[in-house]
Amino acid sequence: MTDLESKIGYKFKDSSLLQVALTHSSYSYEMGKNIVCNERMEFLGDSVLSLIVTSFIFLNFSHFPEGDLTQLRASLVCEKSLYKFAKQIDLGAFIKLSKGERHGGGADRPSILSDAFEALIAAIFLDGGYDKASDFVMTFIVPEIKNIKKKPTKDYKTTLQEIVQKNPGEKLEYRMVSESGPDHDKHFVAEVLLNSNTIGRGGGRSKKEAEQQAAREALELMGY
């Protein structure tokens, strides 16, 4: 078992998959056309990662509306997070780079490390199947979600109010649009209005949550 396999806790049956996952395009270009780089694996790994994370948060965050699920997934699969995960296994030390790329700090470049991490996911998926890829991904995702949970929940209504108050005379109000479902599983839809003009709409299992989601949409439309 190689040092990297020991770090990730997975032994490849086909070691060539791992080698491709670790080969950057600069190395492939430098060494010749017979050397395959990891760009195609990165493409596959991106989709496998998204499916694993989406399935997990969908099943484990049943109280989250679609907007919050999308936001949570984005925070877990973004370049910043993947770079962090790659650093945890010292992935940069194993990536094959051209001499110029390595001397230029490529082994610690977020874009290169995050892409290689996705390629590594694809390699595990191709070699061992979805469950093995999922096991690998979840070793990083579960601790990261715990860190996210520790962070205070953003109060979109307060943030929106603070922005609107910067312009004297602007009037902000919330309006409940609809209420549906049985008593034990209600769904509310609310709108937020600025000077009688709707600037956001959102839904939730309570009036408070619906208003928060309406404020969140308003902030996104305003570029915040």
Do 203 and 181 form a contact (C-beta atoms < 8 A)?
A: no
d(CA 12, CA 24): 20
Q: Cβ neighbours of residue 140 under 8 Å, at least 6 residues apart?
A: 85, 88
Side-chain half-sphere exposure of 18, counting CA atoms within 13 A: 15
Please say if 135 is a catalytic residue.
no
Specify whether 101 is catalytic: no
How far, in Å, CA of 145 to CA of 57, rounded? 9
DSSP state at residue 154: P
Catalytic residue among 42, 68, 118, 217: 118
DSSP structure class, residue 96: B
| Alpha carbon distance 186, 205 (integer Å) | 6
Q: Which residues are catalytic?
A: 46, 118
